[in-house]
Copies of this chain bind each other. A is one copy, B any other.
């Protein structure tokens, strides 16, 4: 009975977490209302863009008033689905995996870390924040019994695809991938990549570009 939404572009979706973050900051400051103009000034966006983005999901504002900060924040939380609990496991418990396990941003996005897995016997048995690192061969059974919704891949490039295969084979339909490779997964599986090296190369490009500019002038 839902009205058919025209597909919402990823450009819009990727701005929502920023809106959410700034709305929380406004709340902390005790600000209860905000106009798209002022919000845009704070975020560095145009007022038009903010109104256009929000209107993809509904008319949350009021003419002459603006937007209620708390209400808009709650709406965006709901759109993002971060108020729904999702169980996650980390595969690859090396430095990065352990850092992610300690990452405090999970709860703010609705994710709860349930277990960690690794192939390295030296790591198996260690606990990180009360989460025991288990042998990856026990992963299938754990997933079956524990209602896992998402897998976080923190392995080196070489192991990533086979981990993805095992995860999707067990019915996991969402992957947060830190391995520097593009995973091949069934089309109903969602993959969100965090490619650190690509980010670093973009930083290198911009540094290089600025140097070029300076040397040309």
Contacts and interface: CB of A to CB of B under 8 A. Distances in A.
Contacts of A200: 105-106, 109, 111, 176, 192
The A interface, classified by DSSP as helix, strand, loop or mixed, is helix
Contacts of A204: 80-82, 84, 86, 109-111
Interface string A191-217: 010111111111111111111100010
B81 A205 contact: yes
A205 B79 CA distance: 7
A31 interface: no
B202 A84 contact: no
Contacts of A126: none
29 contacts: A13-B202, A17-B197, A17-B202, A20-B201, A21-B180, A80-B201, A80-B208, A81-B208, A81-B211, A82-B201, A82-B204, A84-B204, A95-B102, A96-B102, A96-B103, A99-B99, A103-B196, A106-B200, A109-B201, A109-B203, A149-B207, A150-B203, A174-B207, A176-B199, A176-B200, A188-B210, A190-B203, A190-B210, A192-B203
